[in-house]
Structure 1
């Protein structure tokens, strides 16, 4: 039974059913999945040992590797880190902060700022180094932790239970999880010669890029807000809210304090405190 590595839904109908799901939502397969069967593992070493033992290597798998497409042009990359560098250097866009800049000087100053410092923050579940508090939140919300089957929805539900006073989470009375959006070839705009998002009217060169955009939190509910009484800015993801605090833009909390407090935010045994 194949599994989605982002929402952890299982597909009894097989890999084709899962592929349709991933194409529609922008979700991904588990990071360390066997080339030829539905098993997945916690590390690259473990999956390689499995494929060596059972001769499960697929010579054609190289052609099915995940390709990271730039939302701003037609360039494609084999690695997410390379894509982020490209978007910063060529398009002056910070992926982590979802923020555009006017020129290279502006974004390079931003990337050297407090919001992008590297610290020793670890995931409390898999113990992997995540760089910063924002990196830890991204790690959990994107379903990348092999020891904690979380995603944006599950993490919000867990935090909401431990935040009855709404210190950082918004109380959404009608919220029942992410709304799934998917575009078809009908999204093609003949006049603009591009695929158009029907929610924000942003244009994309490829249908896959549009669906990747629709599968992101961009058009989802704002689940969190800044705890600062004089700020209260709202965010669709925990990572964006923490990144806001790390930037010290509203002065509510210092960068180093955010790195220490993030462990209490994601710890299922603790209540959220101001």
Structure 2
């Protein structure tokens, strides 16, 4: 291990030797490397211009050229309706979506004009009733009571009584209080073998996690298959066990 010059391949035993080398050669000025080649630039703007002109991005969509800082964000983009057909239908209304997470969010956010009873609590009760081995629902968990929509006003801001969030408009604080942000987590990642350990407030956020591939558990096509299996079990009120998931 050593201290690498930030503009050339040389490595030094101490940071002082590295800093001296950079000062003597002028290499200290070059702080902004290309993400895909060995070139380093004096300014962020020069580095960005170089990468834009040559499309030197590590996480770049081959279909449209859009680039992302993280691989998970690229994966989410590639699996979004931008590049995926709208094949996931709402079980109650004519709405069609590009991903499992989108159709679940449609129901959890109470946006379905037909299934007006569907929301986070109702969907969790359905999932809990079929998930007999707590494959993705958290054991011994029940939905919270509805969070009160009462808020306080101090000066020009509307304040959430449960956290430090404040909003310029009343609609902002009400949307915040209606969201699941102050409720208990209901789901966990199915990736128990690698011990992902992530928990989620909503079923949609769990599906979004799986679709992004951030824990490397399933490819997107497998996520779609898993969604179909769980949807079928919920529709027919059939208990769901690990062997049913075919993972």
Query: Normalising TM by the smaller chain, what interval?
Result: 0.5 to 0.7
Q: For residues 176 and 255 of structure 1, what CA distance do their matches in structure 2 show?
A: 29
Aligned residue in 2 for 1:165: 133
Stretches of structure 2 that go unaligned for 5 or more consecutive residues are 1-66, 243-247
Distance 1:166 1:254, change over 3 A: same
User: Structure with the greater relative contact order (CA < 8 A, sep ≥ 6): 1 or 2?
Assistant: 1
Q: For residues 221 and 123 of structure 2, what CA distance do their matches in structure 1 show?
A: 23
For the pair shown, which has the larger CA radius of gyration, 1 or 2?
A: 2
Shift of 1:106: 5.0
Shift of 1:164: 1.6
- Within the alignment, does 1:113 sit opposite 2:81 as a pair? no
Distance 1:264 1:177, change over 3 A: farther
Q: For residues 106 and 182 of structure 2, what CA distance do their matches in structure 1 show?
A: 20
SS at match of 1:169: coil
Q: How does 1:141-156 map to 2 (within 5 A)?
A: 141-148=108-115, 149-156=117-124
Shift of 1:176: 4.9
1:259 aligned to 209, 224, 230, which one?
Answer: 224
Aligned residue in 2 for 1:200: 163
Aligned residue in 2 for 1:215: 178
Q: For residues 208 and 147 of structure 1, what CA distance do their matches in structure 2 show?
A: 25
Q: For residues 105 and 252 of structure 1, what CA distance do their matches in structure 2 show?
A: 21
Distance 1:210 1:115, change over 3 A: farther
SS at match of 1:168: coil
Shift of 1:126: 2.9
Shift of 1:162: 0.3
Q: For residues 115 and 237 of structure 1, what CA distance do their matches in structure 2 show?
A: 20
Q: For residues 227 and 254 of structure 1, what CA distance do their matches in structure 2 show?
A: 13
Stretches of structure 1 that go unaligned for 5 or more consecutive residues are 1-103
Distance 1:116 1:208, change over 3 A: same
Q: How does 1:45-124 map to 2 (within 5 A)?
A: 106=69, 110=73, 113-114=77-78, 116-117=80-81, 118-119=84-85, 120-124=87-91
Q: For residues 168 and 244 of structure 1, what CA distance do their matches in structure 2 show?
A: 12
Distance 1:188 1:169, change over 3 A: same
SS at match of 2:158: strand
Distance 1:168 1:248, change over 3 A: same
Kept after mapping to 2: 8 A contact 1:170/1:223: yes
Shift of 1:147: 4.4
